[in-house]
Amino acid sequence: MKRSNPTLLDFRAVLILSQAQSFRIAADQLDMSPSALSRQITNLETRLQARLFDRDTRNVEITDAGLAFARVAERMVNLAEDSIAEFENFRSGRKGKVTIAGLPSVTASLLPEILREFSRDYPDITLKIIDALSGDVLDAVEAGEADIGFTAGTATARSRLSFEPLMADEFVALGLPDGDLAEDRRYNWAELITMPQIAMAMGTSVRELIDSNCLQSGTTLTPRFEVSHLATAGALVSAGLGITVLPRLTLRVLRIDSLVVREISNFGARRRIGLVRRTGRTLSPAAMAFLKYVKLPATE
């Protein structure tokens, strides 16, 4: 005969009855009537083909088979309670994992303080950071490898992504104090375009905005060097090989003690930093908790 497996209610009933040794007391703890509990135990014994309790109208005594089953019931009930507690921690956002993709200038400058506060309040949530170029950030979020992303521009070209602007990042020029930017003043783009420039490589969000500015102003950028990493651009400027034009936010990840920073009077573009999410995807409670800490200041 095919036996049906005991349910969690069966395990709890046997465990509590073995401890109370009274149908009335056990039924009160289980929030059911003594007769309903008696029927449940009888039904379980029939399915198990084993007598779990010897009872009469006044006494209840657990059998050897009942003791063996009660030991199993205790493990199953504890496991179920621990599992529910674990799920409740996940549902409340107290436990889990959040993967964040972002531009290096964001992950290295703005995220540390956010992560410090979040980790203090949610110590049991695991955080993973993917620092990458703009296109890779979008790819990670779109593929579900990252819960959220911080990037520049917009994601409107990708129908599966939404972009929420958080701040505007203005462009500035960097050079040596005794170089092309020696004068402490604002420079216009027509001046800067004639200087030897160290530009970010094609495909980066910075280069896209600079090229767009050139197109609108009718100028052409002919870099002396093209680099893929901010640190390389800063190092080449420090070596006296030219100037570079970068968003102000990137300065926080560069060693600029030996450099001067000059404002640009007529650089029309600003780099929009924003939050990228995949449309139609429900974020985990842990990721939703993290978003409450994202309060990026607007740049003037």
DSSP the chain: -PPPPPPHHHHHHHHHHHHH--HHHHHHHHTS-HHHHHHHHHHHHHHHTS--EEE-SS-EEE-HHHHHHHHHHHHHHHHHHHHHHHHHHHHTTSSEEEEEEE-HHHHTTTHHHHHHHHHHH-TTEEEEEEE--HHHHHHHHHTTSSSEEEEES--TTSTTEEEEEEEEEEEEEEE-TTSTT-SSS-B-HHHHTTS-BEEEPTTSHHHHHHHHHHHHHT-----SEEESSHHHHHHHHHTTS-BEEEEGGGGGGS--TTSEEEEBSS---EEEEEEEEETT-PPPHHHHHHHTT--PPPP-
pLDDT value at residue 92:
64
Residue 81's CB: how many other CB atoms inside 10 A?
A: 12
Residue 278's CB: how many other CB atoms inside 10 A?
A: 21
Domains of the chain: 8-91 (1.10.10.10), 96-166+272-291 (3.40.190.10), 169-268 (3.40.190.290)
pLDDT value at residue 298:
45
Structure tokens at 209: 């905005």
pLDDT value at residue 130:
93
What is d(CA 274, CA 52) in angstroms, rounded to the nearest whole number? 63
pTM over 0.85: no
pLDDT in tens, the chain (300 residues): 455 789 999 999 999 999 999 999 999 999 999 999 999 999 999 999 999 999 877 789 999 999 999 999 999 998 888 788 777 767 766 778 899 999 888 888 788 889 999 999 999 889 999 988 888 899 999 998 999 999 887 555 677 888 888 888 899 999 999 999 999 999 999 899 999 999 999 878 788 889 888 888 888 889 999 998 888 999 999 999 999 999 988 888 787 888 999 999 988 778 888 899 998 888 888 888 899 888 654 443
